[in-house]
Amino acid sequence: MSHSSITYDTDTGFTEPNPTASGSAPVRPNTRLPGQAAMWFFVLGDLWIFTCYFACYAFDRAREPMAFLQGQHTLNQDMGAFNTILLLSSSLLVAWCLKAARKQEYTQARQLLMMGGASGVCFLLIKAVEWYIKIDAGLPEISGQFFIYYFMFTGLHFLHVSLGLAILTLAYLELKKATSGNLAFVESGAVYWHMVDLLWIIIFALLYLM
Amino acid sequence: MNPFRNISFLQDRLAHVWAFLVATTVASWWLGGGAHRVLDSGLTQDRFATTSLIIIIAIIKMRFVIWHFMEVKECPRWLRWTCDAWLLSVAIIVLGLYVFA
């Protein structure tokens, strides 16, 4: 299979082979990596590390399903679901931010990024309220292996969201001076932020719903 | 300035993906909501079909986030395969341990 020429999409920045055009330009792939390769290695590594934690959780839950379900039953599923929708919306806003930045609409991109970050802050506040309610209830309600996992998963995720917010702040500053069209850092920040969303989807399913 | 100018919610693919993700979140929240799993004794009941479905829905949601929000569908093949291998591993590990451990 050979493609004779490449079209460049100024909207997305993707190069795509154009099979209908004629000529003998060299063959190039129709793919690209958004952001820096280092960020992708970090994200993939982080996901695999979390997979080990998920395996431990699933193993322990299988040994004591009733105890885990009892613990899960005391969690507030409504708050968890609302937080999931909050992070999904935040991801959408950050994806739109990148789209706007690629069209060189930097003011719009900054507005969308700001809204995405604000949703992330709301997520952390709700999580903090949830922890407060749980810790306030005290023992024996938050005893047992399930709650060790609950605080470990949500705590680690909280740290990831906090780091994500710091990265989004740097991306915001980058967008302020973005005139050259080099969006590698903003793209990397977006990739990290979507990973935070990704982890929450599975943590929500495992801890709150499974 | 309106931050949503030039964005059509009805035509934007990312908005469609978001709507699908919110709908599946509500569906799994309803499935795992607990009410139908609590017995008269106050104890909860582990339902195989419900639990399996919740995990499968989560895997599908993650595939959509990876594919569309992280733009992996446009990425080199090694990354697409690595991401799918990760998703498949999570599904096999979590479901496998749930069923057989």
pLDDT at B49: 86
Selecting from B34, B65, B86 the residue whose C-beta is nearest the C-beta of A194 gives B65
CA angle, B98 as apex, A75 and B80 as ends, to 5°?
95
Asked if residues A50 and A199 have their Cβ atoms less than 8 Å apart, the reply is yes
Model confidence band, residue A56 (pLDDT cutoffs 50, 70, 90): very high
Average pLDDT, integer, range B56-82: 97
Which has more pLDDT, B39 or A166?
A166
pLDDT at B38 over 70: no
Percent of chain A with pLDDT over 90: 73
Question: By the 8 A CB rule, do A189 and A170 touch?
Answer: yes
**Cis before A19 (ω within 30):** no
Closest CA to B56 of B101, B98, B100: B98
pLDDT digits (tens, 9 = 90+) for A130-139: 999 999 998 8
**Interface residue of B65, B75, B87 to substitute, partner A, most A CBs within 10 Å:** B65
Rounded to 10°, the helix A184-203/A106-137 angle is 30
CB-nearest partner of A208 from B22, B26, B32? B32
The ipTM value here is 0.92
CA A44/CA A42 separation, integer angstroms: 6
Reported as a single tens digit per residue, the pLDDT across A105-147 is: 999 999 999 999 999 999 999 999 999 999 999 888 888 999 9
Lowest mean per-residue pLDDT among A14-23, A32-41, A181-190, B13-22: A14-23
- Asked whether the beta carbons of residue A209 and residue B28 sit closer than 8 angstroms, the reply is yes
The pTM of this model reads 0.88
Helix, strand or coil, per DSSP, at residue A17: strand
pLDDT at residue A28, rounded to an integer: 45
Q: What is the mean pLDDT of residues B6-18?
A: 94
Q: What is the pLDDT of residues A21-46, one digit of tens each?
A: 444 444 445 688 999 999 999 999 99
Contact A106, B84 (CB under 8 A): no
**Contact indicator for A39, A46 with CB cutoff of 8 Å:** no
d(CA B73, CA B85): 14
- Tokens, residue A110: 């900054």
Q: Check residue A155 and give its pLDDT.
A: 98
Computed on alpha carbons and rounded to an integer, the radius of gyration of chain B in Å comes to 18
Q: How many residues does chain B have?
A: 101
Residue A51, min C-alpha distance to chain B (Å): 6
Query: Both tokens of residue B95?
Result: 């479901």
Instruction: Round to whole Å and give the CA distance between A140 and A157.
Output: 25
Instruction: Decide: A9 and B71 in contact? Cβ < 8 Å.
Output: no
